[in-house]
Structure 1
């Protein structure tokens, strides 16, 4: 019983359980849901589609995870996605052969956007939500200025291969997300950087007093968030073969925050889980797929998503489980009820 209780208290159990439930629901609606076949020389099927479409969210959520771990927030990532895509499309519209320059420019504007947020938060001392709100509003305007308020089509084959191509029969976007997760995990787990970020989230004043350059680390975290958002912007614009300054990345920051919290990262800072973030992003994308597969009207999709997130968050709450256990003991004052409450 103690082993079961310890397993249920693991932060990744409930996100994984939620993802499995969603997959089972999809499987009940479509018995071929988990089928993966070969089509035109690459893998094809619902799992591949979910992984492909979840890749940009995974990238954005990685940066958001580290920002939230330092007690911050970055609500400008959706705008940065739009700016990156618009920058690349603008360059490619003049010369489709400048794929390398377009990729570097898109990444560059994302890094600059992250540095701007980091400057305001780490060195100016502005509240993170206010600092990133400024770029969220201004950045969307910049993206629309770059595109002239129009949707710019992209015809450069090299650029389109990044988000819409395949490598070893798997979508390139999935490989980009895997590489980003691997590099981030190595930095967080194999260097002292992860420990420093956790320390800043737990007590930023103490870390500064002991001589840790917390401002520089916070600045770097926001820069990294801008970088991952730019990579997501490249994948999205490449996948849809166009750049839309108005709708690209719209509300993506909210999905990223949901993915991070579903994965067990604390909004109070000091605790984060990259594996949980990846699970959270997969939950969000699978949930989107599920709502369409079971026939939920598009206008009700956000309501269903919010309801599922609420349920999962309540289940993850130790306080909620304690209250539930207390009510179970009142309703069923028996040894069985007691055992259930201990598991909860």
Structure 2
């Protein structure tokens, strides 16, 4: 899908002690915007003579980038207080639709480097939103962006970006734990799922389709095997024992398969992703069984966290100092620390 981004020549903002303000009185504020989804509303603004109108009801996909602050407003390594007015006028009813406000590099096409996120889904209610952002030191093109998930119609106004200093917050003494209720939820009643049909079952080995423990990325090969077996059920797809690597940004997808078995025979599916939110996805399958495999992340190449060492505690137990033991050896140095 082609994204139509436009940058306006004039900046509809003012800088004061209260911060940088985008009030949309004259134009769309000098940042990037998609002309299909963002425009200036002067007929029914939230305040003043104009508001930013975001509308993805016509032709919007699942994720739609509508508008973002100009590059350079959010400085690397700095903290900010963000406020704005918003009113969600309408949203798609048959999908989890919402307005999404996030801090993301303009150069990024995924959410792995997001520094903060707020979702808004209350329809018909004008809201004043405020939150805190800590911008990582790299990359240097973080921007506050407004996206939609599915189809949304909303008004936004008076976006204010105010520098904020980091302050130590003393830990509070732990309160007494609340007593548990006498009757705890016991979960759903037991139910039965029909097993896969095994009569006349055909057995396939994933290596026949190119899946190999020596391959740096088995995503396409395993997907080819799944798609081929889908048309030949009842069927069983097996992996030889071993470690199989997966990369890219597409999940391993089992979709619309009936009377199917996937047997990993103890294999490990080891992932290292460049984007996307799913590793393995199972959609619309009936009488299907998935067993004997492990899903793991390639921690050696791309660690997701670090063990910390407690180095000191203040005399009044108000602050602590910790050291992240593994950060100096992380393959990716743009690691974001978050509380």
Query: How would you bin the TM-score normalised by the shorter chain?
Result: under 0.3
- Higher RCO (CA-CA < 8 Å; seq separation 6+): 1
Higher share in helix: 1
Higher share in strand: 2
TM-score (norm 1): 0.20
TM-score (norm 2): 0.20
